[in-house]
Amino acid sequence: MRVDHAIISDWIAPNSRVLDLGCGDCTLLRELRNSRNTTGYGLEISIDKLAKCVEGGTPVIQANLDQGLSPWFEAQSFDYVIMTHTLQAMRHPEKLLQEMVHVGREAIVTFPNMGYWKNRLQFALGGRMPVTKTLPYGWFDTPNIHLCTVRDFEALCEAQGLRILDREMVDSQLQSRPLMRLAPNLLAETAVYRLAGK
């Protein structure tokens, strides 16, 4: 299990109902079903990835997250709504975060941290947009339209009235190291947050 997936798994109570937004091939949902006995759905726009979910026996709905969650689910339909490495590709991430805490008791979000020191170094010394393991696209073909730093995200949560229940930081080797807690905006390549509404 990937380290960020293991962090998420640790936060999820057994027998919970889970919704995974931008679920890809449903790897995380299958891991949670096996390790936490969860039930739930994935939402995914890619037909190829949907097919992999169905092949793996995971319930999935084809949906465009930019159209919101309200058409699909009522308030508090899930214990957890998860979105891994998808927030930065949304047209209105602030609205989607609000919908996540509306249809779920808690939201879990991961995103690439643009404040990571290697990103800063590439930009400062090379004068070009960073290309890294977590941001593997060129500026011209990237699906990422709203990149942010750890500080940006926490400021958005405060402005949106979202409570940060927990957070973990992960480096480029997908390891969580104690030093990252001291300077997460500089040292974390990926941020993992657990949120709730106020």
Mean pLDDT of 145-149: 92
- Quote the CA–CA distance of 52 and 58 in Å, as a whole number: 9
Please state the domain extents for the chain.
3-197
Mean pLDDT of 168-193: 85
Angle among Cα 192, 35, 184 to the nearest 5 degrees reads: 15
Q: What is the pLDDT of residues 98-129, one digit of tens each?
A: 999 999 999 999 999 999 999 999 889 988 88
Q: Enumerate residues 6+ apart whose C-beta is below 8 A from 78.
A: 16, 17, 18, 19, 40, 103, 104, 105
Nearest alpha carbon to residue 76 among 167, 166, 197: 197
- Quote the CA–CA distance of 196 and 181 in Å, as a whole number: 21
- Encoded tokens for 193: 């947050």
Q: What is the pLDDT of residues 56-94, one digit of tens each?
A: 889 999 999 999 898 889 999 999 999 999 999 999 999
- Quote the CA–CA distance of 28 and 8 in Å, as a whole number: 9
Binned at pLDDT 50, 70 and 90, residue 30 comes out as very high
So what CATH class is 3-197? alpha beta
Mean pLDDT lowest for which of 49-53, 100-104, 146-150, 156-160? Answer: 49-53
Binned at pLDDT 50, 70 and 90, residue 21 comes out as very high
At residue 83, what is the residue type?
M
Angle among Cα 45, 95, 119 to the nearest 5 degrees reads: 75
Contact at 8 Å (CB) between 117 and 183?
no
